[in-house]
Amino acid sequence: MYFTKENYDDFYYGKGSTFPDINGGIGVLFEQASSRGHAQQTSNGILRFPFTIRNQFVTALSTLNGAKALRQEFLEYQRSFFKKIAANAEPKGYVFGDKNDRAKTFHFIEMLQRQQIVVNELKDGYKDSMFEKGTGYAVSLNQPMQLLIKAIFDKQLVYKDSLFYDITSWTMPLAFGLPYKETDNGNTGIYGKQLSPISFPMGEIIGGKTEYAYVFEWDELYAPRALYAFQQAGLITKVATNIFYMPMGSSSKQFGYGTITVPVKLQNISGEKLYTTVKEIAEKNAIKVYAVQSGNVLSGSDLGSSKFVSLTQPKIAMLVGPGVNATDAGELWHLLDQRVDIPATHLEITMFNRADISAYNTIVMVGGTYTELNKEKLKAWVQAGGNLILLEEAITWAAQNGISTVTFKRPKSPTDSTQRLPYTDREQIEGAQQMSGAIFGANVDLTHPLAYGYNQNVVSMFKANRVYMEKSKSPYATPFYYTDKPLQSGWMSRENAGAIKNSAAVIVQGLGSGRLIHIADNPNFRAFWLGGTKLMMNAIFFGRIIETGAARGE
């Protein structure tokens, strides 16, 4: 017994059954229901493990036999697929690149080139203040991978249906947090030399050795990995909470909010050893470290000012196990373990309830239900100075259990309670209220510690939940928020659109000596949402330095 064309769709190109559709192939998916062990009672009788193995294997063999039998037809289909693209080449393309983040731009180009997409340098003379030659790039649609390029760059706002198995938008420049724009310049005025296979950018020290301080900006993707490496080496690090200008050779340079300072004389290692350490960390993490010879700035705060706040190395625990969204936990684990080299202890809820948690200064709760969690123990830990980061549905749990005081906006019902509708309409009406995953632009206070390293006033957030927070009553506690029309790409119902309108994306609260950081969306979605990495890292590194006015009850 089997079914087709129900429950699943081929809309999202991140799936193996859909990706072939834009590459001249035929995507086919079949799945054998699992016996969940040796035997399982089902509505169709007992399903046994040997049958599931045999049926999956036989179906795989029949698929291979079918592909062999239809070999000529498949090849002809692929040939005509690319002929049609060549005959209908569009004279437009895309410009992209972040002049402040070479590493993130590298990963985006790496992805394009892995898919055999031709990337060009910007042509000499191209004028756009957002993009600069050397850090800006162009992709033309006049190439064989045209449909794949569109799938990567285009936004989606028009839909034929409102029920989705998976996410409803995946616009990759928005996911990466990269500036980009569509252009209709064709092959003139924009496309320079074709880019060779790209290499990871090398970091460096600018200005040589110093006996005063080394500073680096927080814009680069791997700046957090560099900061943790400095802290792991036992070095004192400080973060700038103000903009300052320093002399650099014959000119001056502005250093923005979030700039990290490594003072030389405060360390307990020699200047020579420190220089070697700084050089190794800079090169590995694609950051530019500037050697400054004096703490006297041209304008802004001097390096000895209290505006440079000493940082504590994060000691992180993440709650996992039953009730916790496993994919959300895995995404965060991947970010910490694979991308930024920061260790985190994984505590199952039963372990948390009996463990000594005083060794941790940061606890992260991803989306999930935490019914068995000892809420009083968690609350006492925050009050004693802990930094609690709440993501998605964990915010709702914290509010319901008296740890957080955020309030929520509720979507209106899609139907009138007095209305009578056919039972068969229920799936369509209620299913349309699900937030399968869409992209929203949050306005950002770039002076706030949670926004350090961002350079655009709007940051793209990924939302796959119905957690809509009311803005904080404190004017300083909602650094990321949505306006009247935040939807950038993806599907959402009218009811959900009304709830997210003018809501908060991020709220910071004080609780005793500690901090509660509420992030209503998923900044780590599937490990490719690099545009949210900075927000997550800021919450981890800078959460404890945020002034909340908790003593005044804010």
Tell me what pLDDT residue 184 has. 80
Rounded (10°) angle between helices 49-69 and 71-87 = 60
pLDDT of 506 > 80? The answer is: yes
Strand 438-444 to strand 458-463: parallel, antiparallel, or no bridges (unpaired)? antiparallel
pLDDT at residue 32 is higher than 90: yes
- pLDDT category at 8 given cuts 50, 70, 90 is confident
Neighbours of 303 (CB within 10 A): 23
Q: What percent of the chain has pLDDT over 70?
A: 98
Residue 425 has pLDDT above 90, yes or no: no
Q: Is the pLDDT of residue 553 over 50?
A: no
Mean of the per-residue pLDDT values of the chain: 94
Reported in sequence order, the residue ranges of 421-503 that DSSP labels E, i.e. its strands, are 438-444, 458-463, 480-481, 487-489
Ranges of H-type helices in 23-168: 49-69, 71-87, 102-114, 146-153
> What is the model's pLDDT at position 304?
96
pLDDT of 7 reads 81
Question: What's the sign of the alpha-carbon dihedral 390, 391, 394, 398?
Answer: positive
What pLDDT does 554 receive?
Answer: 47
Instruction: Give the tens place of pLDDT for each residue, 143-190.
Output: 999 999 999 999 999 998 898 989 999 999 999 999 999 988 555 578
**From residue 204, how far is each of 44, 208, 214, 279, 292 by CA, in Å?**
65, 9, 12, 6, 14
| pLDDT, tens digit (0-9, with 9 covering 90-100), for 335-392 | 999 999 999 999 999 999 999 999 999 999 999 999 999 999 999 999 999 999 999 9
Provide CATH code, domain 204-310: 3.30.70
Residue-wise pLDDT for 206-229, tens only, equals 999 999 999 999 999 999 999 999
| pTM as predicted | 0.94
User: What per-residue confidence (pLDDT) applies to 254?
Assistant: 97
Instruction: Give me the pLDDT at residue 188, please.
Output: 59
* pLDDT higher than 50, residue 551: no
CA-based radius of gyration for the chain: 26
What pLDDT does 5 receive?
Answer: 83
140: enclosing H helix or E strand: strand 137-140
Over residues 491-510, the mean pLDDT reads: 97
Distance between CA atoms of 419 and 200, rounded to whole angstroms?
60
Find tokens 């908790």 and name the residue.
Answer: 550
pLDDT at 185: 59
- Which helix (H) or strand (E) segment holds residue 224: the answer is helix 223-232
Mean pLDDT of 535-545: 98
What pLDDT, on the 0 to 100 scale, is given for residue 25?
94
Determine the CATH number of domain 316-552.
3.40.50.880
Note the pLDDT tens digit of each residue in 107-137. Answer: 999 999 999 999 999 988 787 889 988 899 9
Q: Residue 231 — pLDDT band, cuts 50, 70, 90? A: very high
Alpha helices in 437-546 (DSSP H): 494-500, 533-542
pLDDT digits (tens, 9 = 90+) for 260-269: 999 999 999 9
What pLDDT score does 550 carry? Answer: 52
For residue 54, the 8-state DSSP code is: H
pLDDT tens per residue across span 445-494 = 999 999 999 999 999 999 999 999 999 999 999 999 999 999 999 999 99
The three-state secondary structure class of 440 is: strand
Structure tokens at 381: 């830990």
Domain ranges of the chain: 36-83, 89-194, 204-310, 316-552
Q: What are phi and psi of 149, to 5 degrees?
A: -60, -45
